Amino acid sequence: MIPRGFLFSAVEANIKKPGRKDLALIFSESVANVAGVFTTNRIKAAPIILNMKRIRSNKGQAILVNSGNANACNGKRGIMDAIEMSNHVAKYLDIKPSLVYVSSTGVIGTPMPMERIRLKIPELVKRLGGSTVEEVAEAIMTTDKFSKVVKKGIKIKDKDCAIVGICKGAGMICPKMATMLCFIITDVNVDGDILDRELRMAVDNSFNKITVDGDMSTNDMVMIMANGRAENDIINKGSKYLSDFREVLLDVTYELSKMIVRDGEGATKVIEVEVRNAKTKNDAEKCAFAVANSNLVKTAIHGGDSNWGRIMSALGYSGANVNENEIDIMMGDILIVKNGVGTGNDEKANIYLKNKEIKLIIDLHKGSHSTRVLTCDLSEEYIRINASYRS
């Protein structure tokens, strides 16, 4: 189930280490509407700076992605390298450089090995159509343990369309945006402004609702290309199929975001933190992220210890409007705190915490606003991975 008019290629450029494909290309045979969301980190990698300028046109045709090197904090050389990479791709594809976007992931502060990349771009273009979307997903991995691909079909009137997303991410995962690269392609004919709005909405409800370790990278980006090759009636503000498109796009991004959490560096458990009945939406999010980002909560869950006092503590410093005597906490369907006091069900909760997927439900009894955040446990393996990332 691949959208019409898209081709893929992946090759080995030996960017960091030999023995794996690390340079990939996603190409639309026709100019597509594009939208993107980029890191809010004030220190941005060279490809992000370039892409943020080019995406103002809302048009694109190719995305070049490499793993092994972030091309971040490399000064003017980094910008020039990103431009050169896009220019080479444009030359061999015979398209305008402004239609080419560049994305990089890997070690920060190391110059790009341009001598090797220059040699591989002609081969990359020549092999377009010879690789699968799964191979592209594998080529962009860094510390990921598995590749991440989601494919969804969507029926628009009498047209069968598809939305496919790939992403990478396992560490430095923090909202706005989550540390990751994500590329979504679709053959749906959708208005450019609507595409931008719907992508931002999907990101806010998926990638911006996950956290692994509270760190934010310099290279985060989500991009979508919609080439309209399905030739459906255009989806615009008044289209009756807009809600269908929105639902499927959110399904794609939410499934990818859950894969990132499941693949969190050193993670053994996926944790969903649901906050109910907060006074405001902002309060709900403050509470959910305070709990989800708490290293004490994450390590307790890793060890199978239902230490709910750590959850109460996180709620207290979250900055949200909370009252200790109104808070209920559940682990799965086990009520462990009622009106701020333990219920004596800790041993039952300890058994529940042996599961691979954990749900924490926190009811503030303050209002009507709710939210959900995905996170994972924190283990010794996280330290091992990040202590030797550059070696």
The residues annotated as belonging to the active site are 179
CA angle 144, 2, 257 (to 5 degrees): 35
Q: 3-class secondary structure for 257-277?
A: HHHHHHCCCCCCCEEEEEEEE
CA angle 166, 170, 173 (to 5 degrees): 100
Q: How far apart are CA 152 and CA 358, in angstroms?
A: 26
DSSP per-residue string spanning 321-369: ---GGG-EEEETTEEEEETTEE-S-HHHHHHHTTSSEEEEEEE--SSSE
Contacts for 215 with CB less than 8 Å, ≥ 6 apart:
171, 172, 173, 174, 179
Residue 49, phi then psi, degrees to nearest 5: -60, -45
